[in-house]
């Protein structure tokens, strides 16, 4: 028998409104296990990352083993198992962005943000990662920062771009209203 969302381990940490959404999400699918990824997104949206306890809770809700949920979490790069910085900076590295300088951009951002690729800066402000295609190939290099997309971020503009990102740390609304697709937010 599976525990209800309100009585399992993550209930101590996840918001009650997050837990309350689980039954409706599961009900959208003909098989409970099909709700695995939507529940993982729900948890990550609430906490910022996914813990072992969260994976166990998701497994209980959808009727699979915690190992099966872990396999999903480790297969898809959008799921995180540890906290990230206040700004999550993701640089596209696929062919069109790479040809337009995304690797040089990454090197320059590492220096400008004092953050190594795949890590979080010592001050906890930035997590810097390479990601696969962001689906904006005509406007590379493309950088996602939280929910905001920045197009045509050139390697030589990394310092100025980093300065703008640092300024966003004082703006709690940054990234809450992403730009209209195809409209560049960054005009370097």
What pLDDT sits at residue 132? 87
All structural domains of the chain with their residue ranges? 5-75, 87-168
Question: Residues of the chain whose pLDDT is less than 50?
Answer: 1-7, 9, 11, 178-184, 186-188
What pLDDT sits at residue 6? 43
- 127 - beta bridge partners? 88, 120
> What pTM was estimated for this model as a whole?
0.69
Contact 5, 11 (CB under 8 A): yes
The answer for residues whose C-beta is within 8 angstroms of residue 154's C-beta and 6 or more apart is 101, 105, 141, 188
Rounded alpha-carbon distances, angstroms, from residue 173 to 112, 128, 146, 168: 23, 20, 11, 9
For the domain 87-168, what is the CATH code?
3.40.30.10
What pLDDT sits at residue 65? 98
Matching CATH topology for 5-75 and 87-168?
no
What pLDDT sits at residue 99? 95
What pLDDT sits at residue 153? 94
Q: Judging by DSSP bridges, how do beta strands 87-92 and 126-131 pair with one another?
A: parallel
What is the fold, at CATH topology level, of the domain defined by 5-75? Arc Repressor Mutant, subunit A (1.10.10)
What pLDDT sits at residue 2? 38
What pLDDT sits at residue 146? 84
- Tokens for 35, please give them: 């709700």
């Amino acid at each position: 028998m599976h525990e209800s969302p309100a009585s399992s381990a993550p209930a101590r940490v996840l918001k009650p409104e997050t837990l309350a959404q689980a039954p409706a999400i599961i009900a959208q699918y003909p098989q409970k296990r099909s709700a695995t990824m939507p529940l993982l997104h729900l948890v990550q949206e609430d906490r910022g990352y996914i813990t072992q306890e969260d994976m166990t809770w998701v497994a209980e809700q959808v009727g699979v083993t915690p190992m099966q949920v872990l396999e999903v979490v480790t297969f898809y790069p959008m799921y995180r198992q540890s906290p990230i910085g206040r700004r999550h900076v993701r640089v596209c590295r696929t062919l069109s962005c790479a040809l337009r300088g995304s690797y040089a951009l990454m090197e320059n951002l590492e220096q400008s943000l004092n953050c190594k690729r795949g890590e979080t800066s010592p001050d906890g402000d930035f997590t810097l990662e390479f990601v696969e295609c962001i689906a904006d190939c005509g406007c590379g290099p493309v950088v996602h920062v939280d929910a905001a997309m920045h197009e045509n971020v050139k390697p030589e503009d990394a310092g100025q771009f980093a300065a703008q990102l640092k300024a966003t740390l004082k703006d709690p609304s940054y990234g809450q209203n992403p730009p209209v697709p195809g409209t560049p937010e960054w005009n370097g």
